[in-house]
Structure 1
Amino acid sequence: MDFPFDLISDEEYERQRTLHEPLTQAVRELIDAGIRTDLDEAGVREARAAIEAVTERLRSVQRSQTSTLRHADTGRPLAWANPAVGVRNAIAPPMDIKHEDTGRCWAEFELGVAYEGPPGLVHGGICALVLDHILGEAASDGLTKPLFTGTITLRYLRGTPLGRLRAEAFVERSEGIKTYARGYLGDTDGWSVEADGVFIRPAWARES
């Protein structure tokens, strides 16, 4: 068993990214504006009609299902819809993950009011999403190895403030089909969440 990928050249990737990234950011801004707006009733109804018209336009030509692309040069999968890093997913922060030669990876990104749990703080589930993804990036060597989250353990050290954040992760060790990764999330005041994850090589990958 293996997962299907559509190969995409570097040129085509850049074309699609340049086209769709600004649209995704516009939708991201729309989400933020919708949460914060204090328009009167007439203004809200007018905005709703405009949004529904744009939605209808975008739905006029659509794929029947999403697909994961694989970069033809690097072999790295490019999941446009991924909720952590997807270029075409407005709920993704997004995380622009950097990989160092040491195997450590990190990302700096903004989490605004759309990710709020307690007032002024990031929802704990969003912290888990961010850390699960970046631990997976480290464990799978940039998503180039087939691994899935087996378990992830979080320790919430304090509230994670909305705003500019940093996440880091690295592999502690590998034992057979298991890879053990560790990561952190926080701001300029230090780490607010620690995470340990165990990532498992699936049966179909073991067989191949």
Structure 2
Amino acid sequence: MTSRRPSPEASAMNVGGFVRDDTPTAEVDRREAVMASLAGTVRELVDATIRTTVDDEEVRRVRDDLAALVERLRAAQLPGPAGIRYNAELRAWNWGNAVIGAANAIAPPLRVVHGPSGCHADVVLGAAYEGPPGLVHGGVSAMLLDHIMGETASGMRRATFTGTLTMRYRRGTPLGALRLEAEIVREEGRKVFVAGSIADADGVTVEAEGVFIQPAGTTGDSPPEQPST
């Protein structure tokens, strides 16, 4: 991704869907900050695009300017998805992820905090996540809960995949500042049962229950699915 990064042939190794990449953690952190700053500006662009009322000619001029910027970014790019990478220190990065991707302007992004009994995250959702007027799209709520509940199930030490996710929409979730929480309820073999919720200042708006499955043949020492926060 940068001139100092070892070539894919020298540094990358696929392990069960994860990619081993020997980029030093300090370099990953530096590059992540740069990409996050770009994604943040693009995120502002998305919001501005939705809400702009400038005239047609100005829209066309901005479109043409953006097309030129896209060409500049495509001058050097990955051949496919960004994937999940990790180095020898188990620093993981997943910059294309739809929920937490540092380089993904579609991601809110969610910053998940791991605690002793589960996870939580504070997020602000704007116009790009609207479903009903003024409210978060129900599918976006499900996506965010699926992610934070999956991270809770994995506990940063094992890979888990969503088996089932059951949602209960108690009321509309307003756009703006929200709190997500998740905790492990119990475990049965490779199954991890997790409860999660979304709340605004007035209380819970969405509740969820999920079963997350640890793949057969994996152990608690599997590479981390998401970067530490």
TM-score by length of 1: 0.93
Matches of 1:180 and 1:69, distance apart in 2: 27
Q: Which segments of 5 or more consecutive residues in structure 1 lack a partner in the other structure?
A: none
Select 2:151's aligned residue among 115, 129, 137.
Answer: 137
For residue 50 of structure 2, what is the aligned residue in structure 1? 35
Map 1:1-208 → 2, pairs under 5 A: 2-7=16-21, 8-65=23-80, 66-73=82-89, 75=90, 77-100=92-115, 102-142=116-156, 144-205=157-218
After TM superposition, give the deviation of residue 71 of structure 1 in Å: 4.7
Distance 1:62 1:111 in 2: 29
Percent identical among aligned pairs is: 46
Cα-Cα RMSD: 1.5
Q: Look up the equivalent residue of 2:26 and give its one-letter code.
A: E
Distance (whole Å) between structure 2 residues aligned to residue 166 and residue 26 of structure 1: 24
Name the residue aligned to 2:11. none
Contact in 1 for aligned 2:86/2:93 (Cα 8 Å)? yes
Contact kept? 2:25, 2:91, Cα under 8 Å: no
Q: Relative to structure 1, is the Cα distance of residues 146 and 178 closer, same or farther in structure 2, using a 3 angstrom cutoff?
A: same
Aligned in 2, Cα 1:76/1:199: closer, same or farther, shift over 3 Å?
farther
Which runs of 4 or more aligned residues in structure 1 lie more than 2 Å from their structure 2 counterparts after TM superposition? 6-10, 203-206
Aligned-partner Cα distance in 2 for 1:99–1:147? 16
CA deviation string 1:25-71 (max 9, x = no partner):
01100000000111111111101101111111111111112231115
